C-alpha cells in the first residue's frame, strides 16, 4: 500500500494528514506551532503516523504548506496554501466553488473550478484584523477561552459595533466596552460580526458560488460562520475538521507526485 502525507505549518498550529493511494484519511494531528515551527511540524507528522499505525518509512512522499513550509525537514516538496486549501476542500466537498479560509495570520477567499483548480483568490495577509489572531487577542481582552467565544456570542442581547479594522484599535474598543459594563456575550458577537464583515469583502471580490466551504480554525466559531453566511447571502459548509484541510490538500498533491 502507498501512503502520502501533507504537513501544514501555520502561525498557530502545525497540522499533518496521512492518506492512502485512494485518498482516504488514515490519521491526522493538530498541534500548537509554538516558537519552533520545525519541531512542531515533526511532532505533528509523528503523531499522525502513530495514529495511523505507520512509520516514516511507510510514507512515499511528503509535501509541506503554510508559512513555515520551507522548514519542514521531512518534506520532498512544498506548495502554496492557496493551492492546498483548494485541493483539500474540493476533496471533502466535491462541488465546492468558493473556499473561505481564516487562519492565524491571514484570511483568504478562493474561487475554484473543476478538480480544485484555482481560478481567482484574494488574501488579507497585511493586517491581523479578520484573522484567528484577531479573535485570540479579543478573547484575551475579554478573559474568555478562545474556543468558547462562538457559543458565548449566541447569548448576546444587545447589538454592539466594533468599528476599527485595526486589531490594536479594536482591542481598545473592546476594553472601552468592558469599562462601560457591556456584557462578554454582546462583545463576543460584535467581534464575530467584525470578522465576518471583513471576510465577506474578500469572498465578494473573488465571487460567491452556490457551494461555499469554510476552512481554518475560525470555522469552528459558529457565530462567525453564521454571520458570514448572512453577509454573503449563501449557506456555508464546514468540514468535520476544518483545520486539516490545507494539510489534506498537500497530501493529495504528494500522492500526485507534485509539489515544487
80: DSSP letter: -
With vertex at residue 208, the alpha carbon angle to CA 246 and CA 69, rounded to the nearest 5 degrees, is 20
**253: which 3 cell numbers?**
498533491
Q: Is 122:206 a contact under the CB 8 Å cutoff?
A: yes
Q: Give the strand pairing for 3-9 and 13-20.
A: antiparallel
Is the pLDDT assigned to residue 196 strictly greater than 60?
yes
Class assignment of domain 1-93+241-260?
Answer: alpha beta
Q: Is 244:15 a contact under the CB 8 Å cutoff?
A: yes
Is the pLDDT assigned to residue 195 strictly greater than 70?
yes
CATH fold match for the domains 1-93+241-260 and 95-238: yes
Task: Give which of 163, 120, 59, 89 is closest to 174, Cα–Cα.
Answer: 163
With vertex at residue 62, the alpha carbon angle to CA 29 and CA 132, rounded to the nearest 5 degrees, is 45
Q: Give the strand pairing for 59-65 and 77-78.
A: parallel
- Its pTM stands at 0.90
Residue 53 CB: number of other CB atoms within 10 A?
10
Residue 125 CB: number of other CB atoms within 10 A?
13
pLDDT band at 125 (very low <50, low <70, confident <90, very high): low
Q: Is 4:209 a contact under the CB 8 Å cutoff?
A: no
Task: Give which of 223, 167, 227, 247 is closest to 4, Cα–Cα.
Answer: 247
Mean pLDDT of 66-92: 92
Question: H-helix or E-strand containing 191?
Answer: helix 184-206
Q: What is the pLDDT of residue 175?
A: 84
pLDDT in tens, 35-78: 999 999 999 999 999 999 999 999 999 999 998 888 888 999 99
Q: What is the pLDDT of residue 143?
A: 87
pLDDT band at 129 (very low <50, low <70, confident <90, very high): low
pLDDT in tens, 148-186: 888 999 999 998 888 776 777 778 888 888 888 888 999
Q: What is the pLDDT of residue 259?
A: 61
Query: Comparing 237 with 181, which gets the higher pLDDT?
Result: 237
Q: Is 2:57 a contact under the CB 8 Å cutoff?
A: no
CATH number 3.65.10.10 is the correct assignment for the domain at 95-238: no
> Taking all residues of the chain, what is their mean pLDDT, rounded to a whole number?
90
CA distance 23 to 20: 5
117: DSSP letter: -
Q: Where are the domains of the chain?
A: 1-93+241-260, 95-238
Amino acid at each position: 500500500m502507498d501512503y502520502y502525507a501533507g504537513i501544514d505549518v501555520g502561525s498557530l498550529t502545525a497540522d499533518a494528514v496521512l492518506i492512502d493511494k485512494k485518498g482516504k484519511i488514515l490519521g491526522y494531528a493538530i498541534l500548537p506551532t509554538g516558537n519552533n515551527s520545525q519541531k512542531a511540524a515533526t511532532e505533528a507528522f509523528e503523531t499522525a503516523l502513530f495514529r495511523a499505525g505507520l512509520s516514516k518509512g511507510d510514507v512515499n512522499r511528503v509535501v509541506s504548506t503554510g508559512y513555515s513550509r520551507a522548514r519542514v525537514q521531512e518534506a520532498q516538496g512544498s506548495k502554496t496554501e492557496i493551492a492546498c486549501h483548494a485541493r483539500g476542500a474540493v476533496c471533502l466537498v466535491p462541488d465546492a466553488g468558493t473556499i473561505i479560509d481564516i487562519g492565524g495570520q491571514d484570511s483568504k477567499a478562493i474561487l475554484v473550478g473543476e478538480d480544485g483548480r484555482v481560478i481567482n483568490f484574494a488574501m488579507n495577509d497585511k493586517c491581523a484584523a479578520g484573522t484567528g489572531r484577531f479573535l485570540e487577542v479579543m478573547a484575551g481582552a475579554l478573559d474568555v477561552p478562545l474556543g468558547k467565544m462562538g457559543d458565548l456570542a449566541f447569548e448576546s442581547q444587545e447589538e454592539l459595533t466594533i468599528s476599527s479594522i485595526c486589531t490594536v484599535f479594536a482591542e481598545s474598543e473592546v476594553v472601552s466596552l468592558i469599562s462601560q459594563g457591556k456584557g462578554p456575550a454582546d462583545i463576543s458577537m460584535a467581534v464575530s460580526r467584525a470578522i465576518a464583515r471583513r471576510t465577506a469583502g474578500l469572498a465578494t471580490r473573488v465571487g460567491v458560488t452556490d457551494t461555499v466551504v469554510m476552512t481554518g480554525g475560525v470555522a469552528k466559531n459558529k457565530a462567525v460562520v453564521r454571520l458570514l453566511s448572512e453577509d454573503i447571502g449563501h449557506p456555508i459548509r464546514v468540514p468535520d475538521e476544518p483545520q486539516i484541510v490545507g494539510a489534506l490538500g498537500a497530501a493529495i498533491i504528494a500522492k500526485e507526485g507534485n509539489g515544487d
